[in-house]
Structure formats: structure tokens, C-alpha cells
Chain A
């Protein structure tokens, strides 16, 4: 622990900044150190509090070290704690003080009050002074054998801390073996949990260089040990339960009987009030039943209710965590949640990170029977909510349209978007109509009727503009003004910043020309000229290519630029590789 990074905050009037205050403290502490008067502990507390405050805001109070230690010859736990906090801070940076600190703490490790023993041991373990680690071994050994569980709990974590400071000291003192003994024999589940945590880290660290460590690690995944933990899981704290569950995920059961055994033992964890425990249990169930299709389905059904409750009952951050998990599940088995789509409707006040995930869920679970309602709801978001979410909602409608066969109502909605005359809505809708037409060209008639009414001046965003231009080219035979719109767009060539738009414009003008040559001739000439003069490499090259094609043979050019096309059946980017990977 260290004082915060900003040490040059200017102190407020009530906060002193200087040496004189520290000197004052020093003499005040000295006075109290030897005193036996009643109420002295209260005065000491006040002074200690000052010392800690100064320390925290960055004032150097290392000079009162001696006095602090003197004053903490007391049975007052609060004073002890403050003192440990203080010495823990300075021992790291001041080697002279480090040894004094260790002596002081070692004495307290033998105090008759177990709380003091535990606290002292914890502070000792947190010192992190590499060349003094040998002084930790004795107290840790004693702590591991202490008859008070609190001290043992602290000692186990102390061993882990030691491992991270000095691997050799920890291993040479044979601590892993002691921890293993406690793991299997200690009556206190918190001690057991801490041993599990510590041993996993230590053996993971040693496994690459030590065959023994590897064996020990594997032994953790033995049936007797796993069952031992499972049978006692209710007695562990909720955090420890998560730890145990994570271990169980790694266990390989011998047969399906074991699988059912384990699930029976853990069934009631799904009703634990702590969401993390529910999620960890769900993970175990899903992992265990991966190869048993029927049961796997039943597992989904079983975990649904608790997971859905979690979506709306915790803090927004917890909703976020649960929804992130659900998102993965839904990718694998969308039909499981398809009846529960209402749980993913957005509340007005929810933070956008939750709303975004919910929109993805709605897109993923929509099926034939729910599409209409879901799309209705999404349209409300497009109209009423903040802009980024409105955009995502429109995209979601589009995605659903592309997934479903029966697209009737969706087309109506998309076209309604276009009629809303809100720029960002129009922009998103255009992009989606374009994709829709690529997959369902049979809807072109309805779409084009509305798209044709959009003034291209209202469309500024590059992707939307490109979409509009593509449609003008592709359906130029149905859109009466197509050549003229394209012509005016070409006139503004120099103001068009997006190369993507200019590329589309070239191609669209060509396509329009093939279908309506006399009307498009002027635009074609202007577009090619502008394209050839364009400084962007791709635009220039494409214009040149078209020019040469036309010079060579117009029929060939048409075959190249505008061949008959098949409708797209599945868009490559909707098949995410994410959903194929195992996640449990």
C-alpha cells in the first residue's frame, strides 16, 4: 500500500503541510508512550489518526517511527491496526526501519490475543522486502499451527505472499506440504478455501519445472478430493464457493453417473442469492453436459430462470456481467431464450452498456413468432431514445430482417424509418434497406418507391450515401429520377470527401447508363472525367478501367459491370466464429 500518486495536491487550510506539525506529533507521541494514565489510549488514537492522514496525503511521517512503535505496546486492537498500517508503509522504502518493523511484528505474532497475532502476521506478510524473507518463515509456521482459525487463515495467505516474494524460501520451508495437510484436514472451511487458492497458484507456478508439483496439481482433480469439496460446499463462503466451482469445471468425470451425482450435489447452488455463484454453477452444468445433448438442453432450461432474474435484479454492472454471459449462451442455443425476449426490453434509465447488450440479445433470440413484437419494440427505441442506441436499434431491426424469412412487416418498419425524416435514422435505414435488397430482391418494388423520395441532400453520412447510390444504380430502371440524381451528385464530385462514395458513384452511373443510355450520357461523361482526374488511386483506376472497357466494347462492359446477380443467402459477417468456440 502506498500513498496516492498525487503528492502535490495543495493542502486545504485545515490540512497542514509541514515539518513543524510532524515534530509536534513526535513530541506528543513521546509523551504518551510511557503514560499509564486512564484515557491514554483514546489520546493515542487521535494522534495515530493524524499520522495516518498525513501519510495518506503524502506528508513524510517516517521520523515518528520509533514513537509509534513505543505507543503501540498496548492491547488496543485499533491502535495496533493503525500502527501496522504505518510500519507496513515505511518498511518498504526505508531499509533501516524494515528490520525494526520485523522485530516488532514478530513479537506481536506471539501475543495472547489471536486477533493481534493474526493482524501482525498479515502485516508481516505484506512487507514485501525481499532480503528479509527468512524472518517470515518462523512466524508463518507458527501461524499455520495456531489453534485459532483466524490466524491460520491469515497464515495460509501469508504463505502465498511469501511464494510471490521468494519462491525458493517458500518451497525450501516445505510450506506446500503443510498447506496440503490443512487443505484435507482443517475443520474451518475458510482455511480450506484459502489453502485451495494458495496451492493452486503455487503448483501452477511450479508445474513447469517440478514433476511433483504437476502431480499434486492433478491430485486436486481427483474424485475423492472433488467430492470432498462438493459435499461441503454449502459451508464455504460465497466467494469460496466460486473458487470451488471453478475447480470442478476442470474435473473430468468418469461416467454419466458421476455427472448426475455432481449436478445433484450442486443443484441448489442455482438458488443462491449471489449471482456469481449462480453463474459459476451454470458454467459447471453446461460444461459437464456438453456431450450429452438432451441433458444439455435440460440444463439450459434449468438455468434460465435464475439467470433471467439476475438480469434485472442486481446493479447495472451485474446486469452487464450476466448479460455478457447470456449473450454467449444465446449464440449457442438461441431457441432456449426465444420465449423470454421480454426480459431483454430496455428500461429508459438503463446505462447504454446494458442497453447495447440487450439489443444484441433481442436480435439473437428473435424468431418467427416474436419478430413482430420485438421489431415493434425496437422501433420505439429508434424514435424515443438517445441517438447511439437509436442507431443500434435500427441496425438490430435490419439484422433481424436478414435472419428471418418472413420479412413483410419489417420492410414496412424500415420504410417508416425513412419517413421519419430524422437524419441519423434515415442514414441507418438506408444502409439496411440496401442489405435487405441484396438478400431479398423481391422487395425492391416497395423499397424503391420510398427510397426514391429521399432527397440525396439530406443524406450526408458516407455509408448511407453509398447505399443510396448503390440502389440508384441497381434499380435505375425503376427509379425515374435516377439519372438526374446521379448527375447532380456527379456535379458535386469535388465536394465528396469519401472515396467509398465516389467509387460507388462511378459504378452506379455505369449501371444506369446501361439501362438508360440517353438520359445518363451526360452524367457518365462527367463521372468518368472526374474519376480520371481523381487523386485517389482506386477511384482513378476504376474510372480508367471503365473507360477502357467502354472503348473496347459496350456489351462486354455491361457484362462486367452489371452482370445478373444472385441474391445473397447468408452474409459472411453474421456467421461469427465466436459462437463456434467452446466457452465453458
Chain B
């Protein structure tokens, strides 16, 4: 039997139960609390504990969000992926209602918490598709009778670039995860058709691809998309839900040069002084500009007295993260900027110094009007029986995802 939880717990940072729902009566709060406090007291690092643990006949699955733990317990062989994903859904719902999910917000809103938990899970089983309740018609994600004065659709093509550069400066991993995020404000029951420059489609249509076509590796669609039609002829047709949703996600590997390249050289000047020289280079066309660039450079744990100079942007030492944060508001393509930083190290290094955890350089940025993959929305047609004209707005943006460059 899949997915039935015995109980759901919300616990504080020390593992004490704040709120819980008992569904099956076969796992008590006392038992769970005892298990969980034991778990988090173990060996300091909470991150080393597996999120799925079996103890004394009960499987516990938990996630952490700020200073709250959410945990389900089950005596059945349940679908772990499903329950973990459900717990994340619970977090999303709570964040939607309380803006931030943490112990305070739970304490202040017990009633709504119970209500939400009741709606989402009954007897350990997740009955509902989502809130509010589904209406009984064939298109359960959209109700009838929606009306807007101005019919509009916003489509954001958001690509997240992940790269991993090893300590030899080689790019060992590079891929892009993309999402087509839509917000629809459309009346009635509109039929939408989306056209992309997808290679398979273009070739099937016998069009010359002219090198502009893209190969998407793994495509996932929102449930509103008619998958059979896509399998058949690669058209993406759907009746959209009202409001914001992810229409499609995809992944592709890419050999493209890293959009922002950072090199850092660290030199010890004496036993007590270390100097870091950093070069940051934008490797994309000049007509694009990266914004809100943040380069996080790792700094030794015991460094102090920072002295930082940079040719662009501002930098500050964040000792709580053992890092130097270099912020550049606007970084046009084809440019290179430098930063130089000096730190003091304590001159007496302990004999048993803990080995350095050489953290990588991490970069954050956004590049509007830009995609790595070259994906293009060729058209977005909206047809509703009342025949209104809807305005589609399409934006492209590329952001840094997991972007790590190890120190050379």
C-alpha cells in the first residue's frame, strides 16, 4: 500500500513537537519525539543524517525548513519520494499562508495550521489535488466563469546555468535547467498553443533548422499539457490554469563557455599575511549585460584585517561565512574586472589545525534577455470561443544555478 503515513509532526529546532496530526494511532508523539531528539543530538552535523530513517518498526521521513522540522512516520512500506515531496508541498502551502514558515508563525497560527494539515492529508493519505477543492469538470485545474477586463499572458523563459570547474580550471560539468513560467490572466476556457524552435519539431515539419534549433534532453510538462499530442507531433497545446504555474521544464547539457569566469590566486606573503588576486571575466556577447553579480570567494577561517581594492563594484568581508563577497551591479559582456585583497592570519598556527576546507568560488548573476540554449518562443496562440485578443508578453532571462569554480 503506497503512501499512508501514520502521523505528521512539526517539530522545533531541538526536536520537540509543536503541532502534530495523528492519523492511524500507531505512532505516538512521545515515541517520535524521543526518536527525533536522539537523532539531532547525534554528532553535531545535522546534515550528515539521512532524511529517511528506520527505527523500531517505524520509518521516519523528515525535512528541515528554517527552525522547523517536518516529519512523517509510517509503519507501512510507503513511497519515500512521494512523502518527502509532500512535506515540501506542505512547506510551500504554509509559506503561502504565513509568508514565512518558522516556529513563530506556527505558534501564532495553530488553527490555520491544523486546518491546512487536515485539508492536505486525511488518515495519512493525501486526498486532495490542492487548495481550493477541485471542481468536478474535465479540466480540474481551471474553473469555469473566469473573467478579466484585460486578457494577458506573461511567459518567462528562465534558464539556470550549472557549472562545475575543477582545480585544474577544467569545466567538468555544464548544464542548463530551464523553465517556462507562465502567468495567465485570461477569461473563459482559452486554448493555447506554444511554438518553440525545437529541433525535432522543426525537422518533422521539414523546415530548415539553420542552426537555430535546439535539442532538449529531458522535458517535463504541467499536467494541463496534452502529452499525447506532444508525443504525436511535438505541438504543445493546453488550457492553462489561472494565475502562475510552470508550463514546462527542460534540461540540456551544453559546451558553452562559462558565462562568468573567475580566477583567484592566493599567495602567502609571510606567515601572517595572505594576498588574493581575483580576475572576473564575462564571456558572452557585448550587447548583453549581467546584473546583480555576486562573487563569493572563500577566505581562511582565521583571517582578519581585510584590505580590499577592486576596479568595479564593491566588496566586503563576511567572516560569518568565511568569505569575501564581491558585488557588481552591472557587468557587460566581454569585460574583465579585478579585485585584490589582503588578509592577516594569526601568526601562531596551532599544531593540530583542522585541515582547510577549501571551498569553491561561487557566483550568482542574472542576464536578462539572454538564454544559453538559444530557445525561442516562436509563437504563443490563444484562442477562446468569445474571440478576444490576448496579449502575450515573453521575457528571457538566464541565471546562475549551481555555479562552482574550485580554486586553482
Contacts and interface: CB of A to CB of B under 8 A. Distances in A.
Is the A/B pair a real complex?
Answer: yes
Interface string A219-247: 00000000000000011011100110010
B337 interface: no
Nearest to A322: B81
Interface in B64-91: 79-82, 84-88
A243 B21 contact: no
Given A2-B29, A268-B231, A317 B218 contact: no
Interface string A1-35: 11011100000000000000000000000000000
A1 B249 contact: no
Contacts of A275: 81, 85
A242 B83 CA distance: 11
Given A2-B22, A4-B18, A161-B123, A317 B84 contact: yes
A316 B228 CA distance: 32
Given A1-B22, A4-B19, A271 B82 contact: no
Given A6-B16, A161-B123, A313-B249, A280 B128 contact: no
B48 A351 contact: yes
A333 interface: no
B285 interface: no
A85 interface: yes
Nearest to A237: B129
Interface stretch (A301-309, A454-462, A493-501, A562-570): A301-309
B208 interface: no
B177 to A, nearest CB: 6
A162 B352 CA distance: 63
B3 A315 contact: no
Interface in B202-222: 217-222
Contacts of A239: 3, 82, 86, 125-126
Interface in B121-162: 122-123, 125-129, 133-134, 136, 138, 140, 162
Contacts of A526: none
Contact of B111 (A82, A157, A164, A322): A82
A125 B118 CA distance: 13
B30, B88, B220 — most chain A CB neighbours (10 Å): B220
Interface string A342-359: 110101100111000000
A373 B172 contact: yes
A128 interface: yes
B351 interface: no
B238 to A, nearest CB: 13
B51 A149 contact: no
Interface stretch (A49-57, A411-419, A505-513): A49-57
A188 interface: yes
A445 interface: no
A234 B129 CA distance: 12
A268 B228 contact: yes
B110 A56 contact: yes
B52 A321 contact: yes
A347 B358 CA distance: 13
A167 interface: no
Interface residues of B, number: 82
Contact of A4 (B17, B61, B86): B17
A363 interface: no
Contacts of B164: 345, 347
A347 B129 CA distance: 34
Contact of B49 (A150, A161, A312, A353): A353
Interface string A371-414: 00100110010011111100000000000000000000000000
Contacts of B221: 271, 273
A377 B168 CA distance: 10
Nearest to A45: B111
B85 to A, nearest CB: 5
B129 A342 contact: no
A272 B33 CA distance: 35
A242 B2 CA distance: 7
A53 B18 CA distance: 11
Contact of B251 (A280, A309, A315): A309
B227 A4 contact: no
A490 interface: no
A348 B363 CA distance: 13
Given A53-B110, A238-B223, A387-B355, 12 more contacts: A4-B16, A52-B114, A81-B111, A154-B122, A190-B129, A194-B125, A246-B1, A273-B223, A279-B81, A320-B51, A345-B172, A353-B47
Interface of A: 1-2, 4-6, 48-49, 52-53, 56, 81-82, 85, 122, 125, 128, 149-150, 153-154, 157, 160-161, 164, 187-188, 190, 193-194, 197, 200-201, 204, 234-235, 237-239, 242-243, 246, 267-268, 271-276, 279-280, 305-306, 308-309, 312-318, 320-322, 324-325, 342-343, 345, 347-348, 351-353, 373, 376-377, 380, 383-388, 422
13 contacts: A4-B29, A157-B123, A164-B24, A242-B3, A242-B82, A271-B221, A273-B222, A276-B85, A312-B177, A315-B63, A345-B173, A377-B172, A384-B406
**What are the nearest 9 A-B pairs in CB distance?**
A268-B227, A276-B82, A351-B47, A305-B218, A321-B81, A317-B51, A4-B17, A276-B81, A237-B129
